[in-house]
Chain A
Amino acid sequence: MISAHDVAASRLAAQRRAEAERARSPWALAWRQLKRYRLALAGGVTLIVLYTAMVLAEFLAPYGLDQSDRTLFYAPPTSVHWRDARGHWHLRPFVYAYRVVDPSIPQYVSDTSRTYDIHALVRGAPYHWLGLVPADLHLFGVAPPARLFLLGTDQFGRDMFSRLLYGSRVSLLIGIMVVVITFPIGMVLGGISGYYGGLIDNVMMRSVEVLAAFPSFYLFLTLASVLPPTLSSPQRIALLSGVFSLVGWGGLARVIRGIVLGLRDVEFVQAARASGLRDLRIIVRHVLPSTASYVIVAATLTIPGVILGESGLSYLGIGVQEPSTSWGLQLAQAQSIDVLTQFPWLLVPGLAIVLAILAFNFLGDGIRDALDPRQRST
């Protein structure tokens, strides 16, 4: 029998549950919402895989960054077999060595006289992991003279797959570097502009308009091409991110300014002002946190833009320079129509660029919806 007491108790419990639900932090709600967007999650997982591979590049790559075999230029991807020429099945996948048909033209046949097993965790070309830890262990490889070119080789006989991994260091990190540089600057300048208004605001917003009046890629081109050719690779990459930041801070600053302008006279800001805080502290500690959800989305969507810009510049030959590499620079080898049509595996770095940009776009779009209370279902 159900007593009135039980009914009251269960009602109370339901009420408590509802309150607990309401008391969840907005971030927890957003995360719960995000988990429902399968594409956003797929994007996030893809990015985790890409960035993990980037960190482990030296270990995952069978060959070194500059390791080239000039006799095997434009070699097609090595085919991996389970069954040999005599029809025997093998327990391990194996490859055949390439045989050069004519040393002057890139034409190769498989030398089926001997099989070379693909081994896991082999000792190979020595490297310094992340430039620090000396090692020579590779996840997989084959014994020479056979070669394992999963994505073929380029014009110098360098393994495309290995270079794709090394190139991801530049392509994937530059976006993050630009966000790290641009966002604090854009937020503070936008915050100051919106908070003070008046002359500062006017000057700042007019300069943003001037920057926005250029097709951005024209500015990237010009600024990147004035970088001196004598720079080392890391310096060049740092300056390139400087170029992207110089052109890119304006858009962010303008939106932050708009948000801050709307917040300038709300109660909690007035309270902060009344308690005698310095203006900069009010802006940074009290006003800017309210822009967080916009900033997170903007950051996620800025990175693919920068990846695009970097690969574009490198593709046209004024971004990252040899001997270091990036996906755009790698794709630049496919520039001539003859090369492109004969050796289509040179297009693979382009697919990597698309994959990374797509993953960021899916994730960013999902986060935007997840942070938008209007989209939230209960």
Chain B
Amino acid sequence: MLRYILRRLILLGPLLLGITLVSWAAIQLVPGSGNYFQGLVLQYPQISPQTIAALKAQFGMDQPPWIQYFRWLWSILHLDFGLSFAYNVPVTWLIGTRALNTLLLSLTSLVVAWSVALPLGIYSAIHQYSAIDGVLNTLAFVAVSIPSFFSALLLLYAAYWSHILPLQGLTGVDFDTYPWWAKILDIGRHLILPTIALGLFSVGGLMRYMRNYLLEVLKSDFVKTARAKGLSERRVIYRHAVRNAINPLVTLFGFELGGLLSGAAFVENIMGYPGLGRLILEALLKKDVFVVMASLLLGSVMLILGNLAADIMLAYVDPRIRYD
């Protein structure tokens, strides 16, 4: 097991290198990016010429592109992601909390989606071809067909008339004055709408997968054996069938995470949620290049680590996976 994890970690190396290359290259496509520093001086007069000169020297802006890339790579290896021009602070200050916020939103959505989707999927599979199964299946299709920006808008519309939940942001205006427990409650209240908006999409897909996997498992021989032994139907389903049907869902975890991070970008922008997706859009519009590169990089690092976690979990729960 340990060897498997180690091997996966080593394989991450080249992948991370490729990711830095793409994150960097995407920005180089900006028309006239070779001299984007000149443009920035005009756009951000609050940044001193000395700072600009220092950045130019640090990132080798007068050097050929490949040297620029290695300079940037060298900097990020030291966790120096450059300067955010729009905020005039190091990118590192900005991006950490934003990434954590996005992770928080994605994970709450994931937990909510799984805890809603699995029971529905199990119910649907056990009552295959019943009326409720049909309704649930159709609803699942509708759920996966609603873009997260549209579900976010509809939720805002509903929430506006209900006057119960906060519509925008992650924290209330008086957040800093609250005691710690009120802070947690406040964040929780603010998380409800974005979580539903984002989770809805996953529920449909997960439910259908759960239903299909469980139906497949229910046909298998060991379920017949369990029934033949005279176990109660309850025990057959929950002890034997469901456990085995959940395994393939673990592999979906990584896939889900990618979708959630993408979807979160919409929800964040519509609900004013201070996450990575909102940061990257703002940075793109303001040509805040170091922030864009760092956000791309961090978004994909989160995705890779999520996938890695999923693979390790799968290897852990499913002894049939050979990991050497």
Contact = CB atoms under 8 A, between A and B. Distances in A.
Contact of B300 (A213, A225, A311, A344): A213
Interface string B110-122: 0000000000000
Interface in B295-312: 295-296, 299-300, 303-304
B51 to A, nearest CB: 25
Contacts of B161: 341
Contacts, number: 133
The secondary-structure label for the interface of chain A is: helix
Interface of B: 14-15, 18-19, 21-22, 26-27, 29-31, 138, 141-142, 144-147, 149-150, 153-154, 156-157, 160-161, 167-168, 258, 261-263, 265-266, 269-270, 277, 280-281, 284-285, 292, 295-296, 299-300, 303-304
Nearest to A213: B300
B31 A344 contact: no
Given A225-B284, A316-B281, A354 B150 contact: yes
Interface string A343-368: 01001001001100110011001000
A316 B167 CA distance: 19
Given A218-B299, A221-B280, A347 B153 contact: yes
A337 B19 CA distance: 37
B18 A207 contact: yes
Contacts of A331: 149-150, 153
B296 A226 contact: no
A346 B281 CA distance: 24
Interface in A311-351: 311-312, 315-318, 331, 334-335, 337, 340-341, 344, 347, 350
Contact of A357 (B147, B277, B285): B147
A365 B157 CA distance: 31
Contact of B160 (A222, A337, A358): A337
Greatest chain A CB density within 10 A among B22, B138, B167, B263 is at: B22
Contacts of B31: 226, 228
Contact of B265 (A221, A340, A344, A357): A221
A19 to B, nearest CB: 31
B284 A222 contact: yes
A215 interface: yes
Given A222-B296, A337-B160, A318 B266 contact: no
19 contacts: A210-B22, A213-B303, A215-B258, A215-B262, A217-B277, A219-B296, A221-B280, A221-B284, A223-B29, A228-B31, A311-B149, A316-B266, A340-B157, A341-B160, A347-B157, A354-B147, A358-B141, A361-B141, A365-B141
In terms of DSSP, what is the predominant structure of the interface of chain B? helix
A188 interface: no
A72 to B, nearest CB: 23
A103 to B, nearest CB: 27
A225 B138 CA distance: 36
Interface in A217-251: 217-219, 221-223, 225-226, 228
B299 A215 contact: yes
Contacts of A358: 141-142, 145
B167 A222 contact: no
A347 B15 contact: no
A218 B157 contact: no
A152 to B, nearest CB: 15
A312 B300 contact: no
B265 A218 contact: yes
B270 A335 contact: yes
Interface string A301-317: 00010001001100111
